[in-house]
């Protein structure tokens, strides 16, 4: 177990797996748009979008539990202990995050929605450091978050304008969704140390997906034109959620929230690039703005995760020199008037 732990805490491994998650999530955006078209879901039909998400996450949860059962060579079903942890994660992540997100997106611009969504990673780190006290808030974590968020702002503002209006049902709901995301990230970090992160992920997805689907149906949502192509899209998106969220949960089980969550700023970059490749939006993706965003996000990730043995050594040396200088100054005090300007 210690060897597995060592591998999953290595920065290179964390970066590789986190970027795989972001690429998978990034591919989901253009595929979801294609799925809406195939299943005749209008962009303003929030209820049907929630039904779509519910079916996707229910299937994702079932796939994760099947994978866990094959791996353990026995049927992996949640017991009472696991349900105690899965329910709050389910309410925060799958139900809370996506319910408020889909309604909020329908009542705001894509630019503001994208920028507020970028706050989720920042919120997760702040909650972990300041509320749950799982790790220390440091200057480099704060700077890294600011740079990563700046990258998200740049990628969303390319060729667009930003108004400062704020509506509860629009921008407010997206902000609530990101608070839910941040809370679920910290809860997964805590609970995955007590139960299997794979079974936890599968259980909360299955329960949350069912709840979302029922909420969407209750709001009058439905999916039409269930063709083979439409079912393939849903299955692909379920696989994306199953693989990406399970990998993310495993990384959170072995690492601090800040070390993993900072990679979430890569997600919108992957979405823009993959949308360009899949939907033909090339001019919107490959320009100086996207390059600036990439540099900002990479800088933020580096600052948060870079090893700093030399810095610590230099800090110790500086402090000892400063202490020596202070003692000398105490022996030979400077006259009080030496800094005063003569008149």
- Would 44 be classed as within a structural domain? yes
- Establish if 332 belongs to a structural domain: no
Which pLDDT belongs to residue 331? 47
Q: Per mean pLDDT, which of 75-79, 180-184, 298-302 is the most reliable?
A: 180-184
C-alpha dihedral, 6 to 8 to 10 to 16, nearest 10°? 160
137: pLDDT strictly greater than 90: no
Distance, first Cα to last Cα, the chain: 74
| pLDDT mean over 8-15 | 89
Domain presence at residue 2? no
Residue 163 domain-assigned?
Answer: yes
pTM for the full predicted model: 0.79
Is 331 domain-assigned?
Answer: no
Q: Closest Cα partner for 263 from 57, 136, 120? A: 120
Q: What is the pLDDT of residue 314?
A: 38
With respect to residue 280, please indicate whether it lies within any of the assigned structural domains: yes
Amino acid 301: pLDDT: 86
SS3 340: coil
Q: Which residue has the higher pLDDT, 160 or 97?
A: 97
pLDDT at 43: 77
* 298-319 average pLDDT score: 62
| Domain of residue 182, residue span | 7-324
Identify the pLDDT of residue 159. Answer: 61
Q: How many Å apart are CA 268 and CA 193, to the nearest integer?
A: 29
Domain-located, residue 259: yes
The span from the CA of 40 to the CA of 233, in Å, is 13
| Residue 303 CA: distances (Å) to CA of 8, 18, 285, 289 | 19, 16, 25, 21
Tell me whether residue 296 is in a domain. Answer: yes
| Count: domains in the chain | 1
**CA–CA gap between residue 62 and residue 82 (Å, rounded):** 16
Q: What confidence score (pLDDT) does residue 62 get?
A: 95
Choice among 133-142, 155-164, 288-297 with the minimum mean pLDDT: 155-164
């Amino acid at each position: 177990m210690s060897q597995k732990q060592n591998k999953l805490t290595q920065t290179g491994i964390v970066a590789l797996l986190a970027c795989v998650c972001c690429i998978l999530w990034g591919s989901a955006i253009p595929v979801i748009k294609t799925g809406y078209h195939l299943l005749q879901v209008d962009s303003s039909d929030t209820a049907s979008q929630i039904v779509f998400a519910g079916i996707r996450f229910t299937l994702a949860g079932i796939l994760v539990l099947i994978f866990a059962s094959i791996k353990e060579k026995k049927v992996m079903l949640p017991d009472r202990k696991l349900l105690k942890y899965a329910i709050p994660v389910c309410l925060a992540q799958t139900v809370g995050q996506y319910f408020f997100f889909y309604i909020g997106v329908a009542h705001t611009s894509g630019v503001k929605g994208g920028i507020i969504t970028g706050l989720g990673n920042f919120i997760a780190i702040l909650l972990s450091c300041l509320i749950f006290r799982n790790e220390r808030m440091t200057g480099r974590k704060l700077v890294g978050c600011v740079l990563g968020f700046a990258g998200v702002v740049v990628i969303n503002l390319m060729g667009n304008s930003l108004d400062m209006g704020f509506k509860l049902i629009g921008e407010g709901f997206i902000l609530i969704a990101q608070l839910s995301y941040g809370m679920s990230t910290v809860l997964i970090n805590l609970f995955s140390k007590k139960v299997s992160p794979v079974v936890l992920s599968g259980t909360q997805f299955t329960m949350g997906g069912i709840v979302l689907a029922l909420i969407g149906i209750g709001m009058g949502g439905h999916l039409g034109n269930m063709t083979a192509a439409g079912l393939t899209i849903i299955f692909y998106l379920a696989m994306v959620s199953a693989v990406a969220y399970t990998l993310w949960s495993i990384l959170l089980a072995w690492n601090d929230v800040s070390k993993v969550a900072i990679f979430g700023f890569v997600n919108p970059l992957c979405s823009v690039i993959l949308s360009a490749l899949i939907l033909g939006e090339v001019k919107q993706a490959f320009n100086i703005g996207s390059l600036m965003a990439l540099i900002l996000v990479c800088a933020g990730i580096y600052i948060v995760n870079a090893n700093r043995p030399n810095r610590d050594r230099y800090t110790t040396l500086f402090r000892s020199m400063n202490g020596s200088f202070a003692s000398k100054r105490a022996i030979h005090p400077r006259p009080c008037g030496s800094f005063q300007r003569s008149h």
